[in-house]
Amino acid sequence: MPRILVVEDDPTISKLISASLKISGYESTPCFNGGDAVHMIRNNDFDLILLDVMLPGMDGFEIMENIRRYEVPVIFLTAKGDVDSRVKGLKSGAEDYIVKPFEPLELLARIEIVLRRYHRDRRVLDFRDIVVNMEERSVRRGGELVELTPKEYELLVLFLKHPNVALSRDKILDDVWECSANIETRTVDNHVQRLRKKLGLEECLKTVFKVGYRLEG
């Protein structure tokens, strides 16, 4: 059952959305302010986020800045229907932008489209003989299961999503480790070395001098 976080500060609208989701077979979790939303997203696995823009504590655009690294699809639900807000929302990384008031049937149709597209695009990542199943959170090389630590897994996924792109150590720390300021860049080097050894990426996972690393394929 897909899990959807409903970030909406109006209790009436939140209940209406949750009731519609329940009827359609989705599991929903309500949230009423921006700070709590970021905390919940960091500590839970949601399949989709329905996100209001005007929220207490932290608005929807700020939330997007804080959760982009978690790769969870977002649909904005907001009364801000002007073109600038729409463009800003979509450019921030949201999959869709729905203006209030909206019909529940339209919302459900948009949710179905986003989830279908997201799972089709994100379910499996592959590189040569390496296959990452995002739903299982599993990694196989040549069909054999490879055990990775959580950070090794996240680092691998980052490289697979950005092939042939030079990623700086700071960028890697920001995306894989939350508190990059407290972690030395040597940590990245050590994890890259382990990935190379476990997955046979010595020739593909290149060091970019004075920058970071690039997965070439």
**Range of the structural domain that residue 172 is part of:** 124-215
Say whether pTM exceeds 0.85: no
Q: Which of 94, 122, 150 is the last residue of a domain?
A: 122
Average pLDDT, the chain: 89
Average pLDDT over residues 92-98: 90
The C-alpha atoms of residue 57 and residue 89 are separated, in whole angstroms, by 18
| 31 and 47 together in one domain | yes
* Predicted pLDDT at 179: 59
Digit-coded pLDDT (tens) for 68-86 = 877 789 999 988 878 888 8
Digit-coded pLDDT (tens) for 23-53 = 998 999 999 999 999 999 988 878 899 999 9
Q: Greater confidence, 190 or 126?
A: 190
- Return the bridge partners of 4, or none: 28, 48
Confidence class of residue 186 from pLDDT cuts 50, 70 and 90? confident
72 neighbors 50 (Cβ within 8 angstroms):
no
The C-alpha atoms of residue 170 and residue 152 are separated, in whole angstroms, by 16
| 83 and 153 together in one domain | no
Q: Which of 122, 146, 171 is the last residue of a domain?
A: 122
pLDDT value at 121 more than 60: no
* Predicted pLDDT at 182: 65
Q: Which of 122, 153, 181 is the last residue of a domain?
A: 122
| 22 and 109 together in one domain | yes
Residues 6+ apart with CB under 8 A from 61: 53, 88, 89, 92
The token duo for 24 is: 């359609």
Q: Supply the DSSP string of 55-86, one letter for each residue.
A: -SSS-HHHHHHHHGGG---EEEEES--SHHHH
| 32 and 86 together in one domain | yes
pLDDT above 70: percentage of residues in the chain:
95
Q: Greater confidence, 117 or 142?
A: 142
| 56 and 28 together in one domain | yes
| 135 and 53 together in one domain | no
The domain tally of the chain equals 2
∠8-11-17 over CA atoms, to 5°? 65
Q: What is the CATH number of the domain that holds 108?
A: 3.40.50.2300
| 105 and 130 together in one domain | no
| 26 and 131 together in one domain | no
Q: What is the largest CA-CA distance in the chain?
A: 57
* Predicted pLDDT at 184: 76
| 113 and 90 together in one domain | yes
| 128 and 111 together in one domain | no
